[in-house]
């Protein structure tokens, strides 16, 4: 398989592989450290063992936050879907006078560093009495994830022929049934991609979770962070390795169903 056949010269290919190694290095190392049998962090690991995984899986300090992160991820994803799908349907089928401006506004949270949002949210929820609640976290994460879902659903829905929905209507499907039987199956790849991406983003998110969580609503990244500030042992590596595994699997699913190219390229990068 000649590299040249792909339009990529040998030199470029070698360089790319080098960069990929660079990108993967910290993650590979973390996973490697997780398997160490020693009491301290070292790379390469001084022995192979699963003791840190066992330690971590039974540790409530991590299990609680893991559960919180999962709950938060699922909830904020559902909220994002509920908000973004109708918005995408409306934007594509209606020629709003300010359509372009509305769309830009809805995608704007993508460009903002989340720390700014986190700080603002902190003040905001304190004022309305929601400080430290699960709801506040959901709201914060939904703001971050909803533009991604909107983007993917917009991309897929724009490609759906309008007449297909009209045909369903004329054939006797009311608005809800036309959506359920025709529109939804056709946009499903975009919905799923957006949902998976949204879950992953929420699962990973730090600034908002850091500022808005209370002891009982701590998320996994935040607990790892707090742990790291005071400790430096392979437990962190084990938790991280588990998280990496989850992400890897979800990403593979995303790639197979929707294709990563469409998620990343359907962007305001253009």
Partner 1 sequence: MPAHLSIREVSKVYGGQTAVDCVSLEVEQGEFVALLGPSGCGKTTLLRTIAGLVMPTSGDISIDGKSILEIPAHKRGIGMVFQSYALFPHMTVSDNVAFGPRMARLPSRNIPELIRESLRLVRLESLGSRYPHQLSGGQQQRVAIARAIATKPKVLLLDEPLAALDAKLREVMRVELTELQRRLGLTTVFVTHDQQEALAMADRVAVLRDGHLEQYDPPRRMYDRPASAFVADFVGQMNHFPGRVLAIDGQTVHIGTDAADCRILAQRRDGIADGDSVTAMVRPERMVIGSTAPDNAANRVRGVVSTTLFSGETTHCIVETQLGKLVVAERSQDRTADDFPHKPGSEITIAWRVEDTHMFPRT
Partner 2 sequence: MARKDRPIGAIARAGYARAAGLIPMMLFLVVFFIGPLLVNFSQSFAGPGTMFREYRRIFTDGYYLLVIFQTVLLGCAVTIGCLVLGYPLGMAIARASGRLKAALMFAVVAPLLVNVVVRSFGWMVILGNQGVVNWIGSALGLAPLELMYTWWGITIALVHVLLPFMALSIASVLEGIDPRLEEAAKVLGANAFNALRLVLLPLSFEGIVTGSILVFTATVGSFVTIMLLGNASTMVLPLLIYQQLTVVSDWAFAAAMGTTLLVLVATLLWVQARFMRPGWRQARTV
Give yes or no for residue 247 binding partner 2 (CB under 8 A): yes
Residue 161 contact among partner 2, partner 1, none, beta carbon within 5 to 8 Å by kind: partner 1
Q: Report if residue 225 touches partner 2, rule: CB under 8 A.
A: yes
Among 66, 72, 139, 168, which residue interacts with partner 2 (rule: CB under 8 A)?
139
Q: Are 72 and 141 in contact (CB under 8 A)?
A: yes
Using CB under 8 A, which of 58, 94, 172, 215 touches partner 2? Answer: 94
Give the residues lining the site for partner 1 (CB under 8 A). 161, 163-164, 166-175, 177-178, 181-182, 185-186
| 26 forms part of the interface with partner 2 (CB under 8 A) | yes
Q: Please give the backbone phi and psi of residue 36, each rounded to the nearest 5 degrees, phi first.
A: -70, 150
Alpha-carbon dihedral of residues 194, 188, 83, 204, nearest 10 degrees? -20
Min dist CB 244 to partner 1, Å, is 35
Q: Is 67 in the site for partner 2 (CB under 8 A)?
A: no
185 binds, among partner 1, partner 2, none (CB under 5 to 8 A by kind): partner 1
For the record, the structure tokens of 220 come out as 């996994």
Contacts with partner 2 by CB under 8 A: the residue count is: 89
By CB under 8 A, the residues from 197 to 216 that bind partner 2 are: 200-201, 203-204, 206-207, 210-211
For the bound state, the minimum distance from the C-beta of residue 42 to partner 2, rounded and expressed in Å, comes to 7
Does residue 130 interact with partner 2 by CB under 8 A? no
Per CB under 8 A, does 43 bind partner 2?
A: yes
219 phi/psi in degrees, rounded to 5: -100, 170
Shortest Cβ distance from residue 172 to partner 1 (Å)? Answer: 3
By CB under 8 A, is residue 15 in contact with partner 2? yes
Tell whether residue 20 is a contact of partner 2 (CB under 8 A).
yes
Nearer residue to partner 1 within complex by CB, 188 or 225 = 188
Q: How near is the Cβ of 17 to partner 1 at its closest, in Å?
A: 37
Pick what 267 binds: partner 1, partner 2, none; C-beta below 5 to 8 Å, kind-dependent.
Answer: partner 2
């Amino acid at each position: 398989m000649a590299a040249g056949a792909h339009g990529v010269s040998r030199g470029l290919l070698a360089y790319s592989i080098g960069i990929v190694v660079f990108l993967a290095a910290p993650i590979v190392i973390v996973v490697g450290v997780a398997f160490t049998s020693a009491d301290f962090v070292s790379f390469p690991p001084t022995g192979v063992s699963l003791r840190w995984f066992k330690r971590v899986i039974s540790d409530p300090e991590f299990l609680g936050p893991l559960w919180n992160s999962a709950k938060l991820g699922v909830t904020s994803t559902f909220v994002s879907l509920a908000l973004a799908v109708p918005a995408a349907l409306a934007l594509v089928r209606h020629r709003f006078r300010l359509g372009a401006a509305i769309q830009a506004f809805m995608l704007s949270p993508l460009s903002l560093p989340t720390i700014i949002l986190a700080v603002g949210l902190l003040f905001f929820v304190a004022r309305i009495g929601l400080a430290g609640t699960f709801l506040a976290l959901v709201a914060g994460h939904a703001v971050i994830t909803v533009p991604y879902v909107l983007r993917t659903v917009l991309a897929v829905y724009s490609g759906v022929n309008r007449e297909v929905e009209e045909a369903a209507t004329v054939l006797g499907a009311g608005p809800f049934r036309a959506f359920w039987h025709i529109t939804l199956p056709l946009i499903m790849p975009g919905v799923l991609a957006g949902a998976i991406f949204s879950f992953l983003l929420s699962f990973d998110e730090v600034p908002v979770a850091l500022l808005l969580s209370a002891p009982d609503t701590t998320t996994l990244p935040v607990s790892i962070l707090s742990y790291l500030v005071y400790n430096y042992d392979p437990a962190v590596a084990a938790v991280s390795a588990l998280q990496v595994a989850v992400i890897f699997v979800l990403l593979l699913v995303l790639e197979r169903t929707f294709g990563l190219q469409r998620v990343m390229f359907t962007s305001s990068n253009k």
